[in-house]
Amino acid sequence: MTEATQEAKLPAFNIDKLYIKDISMEIPHAPAIFLEREPSQFDVQLNTLANSVAEGMFEVTVMSTVTCKYGEKIAYLIEVKYAGIFQAHGIPQEEIEPLLAVTCPEIIFPYLRESVCDMTVRGGFPPLLLNPVNFLASYQRNKAQQAVPATTH
């Protein structure tokens, strides 16, 4: 076997591209909301989605919706979808799912986090830094829930 043939058979994982897929910020009560002095309440939703786009190429999207309220009033709503295109060749099939559910979101999340922080500042609010996410724990929890058989009564 030639050296080139051996290299072609080695497992390979590459980042092809990282990009903002969708981003928006709404400040429904501006400018009055800037006069509010009530403490902020935050609701952060985070989801991931993975799709095959070609042989050995996958798009992984990390989506976040952040809602900030002052009392009952929505101060702002931020929605960000940050995505990446990843190449995975020569990787065993059983390793693809955790790669797409854990490794890829871990790569994308810091960019999404920075986008949310930047949006809050540009919107006239204090910077919001999203807490780190343990994508491995989320993946393991989801797998455990899928493994538990549904009971009917």
Q: Is residue 1 part of a domain?
A: no
Q: Is residue 150 part of a domain?
A: no
The chain-wide mean pLDDT, for the chain, equals 93
What is the extent of the structural domain holding 64? 12-144
Q: Give the Cα separation of 146 and 128 in Å (integer).
A: 33
pLDDT in tens, 47-69: 999 999 999 999 999 999 999 99
> Would you say residue 150 has pLDDT above 80?
no
The total number of structural domains in the chain stands at: 1
Q: Is residue 21 part of a domain?
A: yes
DSSP string, 81-111: EEEEEEEEES--HHHHHHIIIIIHHHHHHHH
Q: Is residue 110 part of a domain?
A: yes
Q: Is residue 44 part of a domain?
A: yes
Q: Is residue 91 part of a domain?
A: yes
Instruction: Kindly report the CATH number assigned to the domain that includes residue 81.
Output: 3.10.420.10
Report the pLDDT averaged over residues 65-74.
Answer: 96
pLDDT band at 37 (very low <50, low <70, confident <90, very high): confident
pLDDT at 38: 86
pLDDT at 14: 97
> Would you say residue 132 has pLDDT above 70?
yes
pLDDT band at 131 (very low <50, low <70, confident <90, very high): very high
Q: Give the Cα separation of 20 and 61 in Å (integer).
A: 9
Q: Is residue 3 part of a domain?
A: no
Q: Is residue 152 part of a domain?
A: no
pLDDT at 146: 86
pLDDT in tens, 109-130: 999 999 999 999 999 999 999 9
- Gyration radius (Cα) of the chain, Å: 20
Residue pair 12/90 in contact by the 8 Å Cβ criterion: yes
> Would you say residue 6 has pLDDT above 80?
no
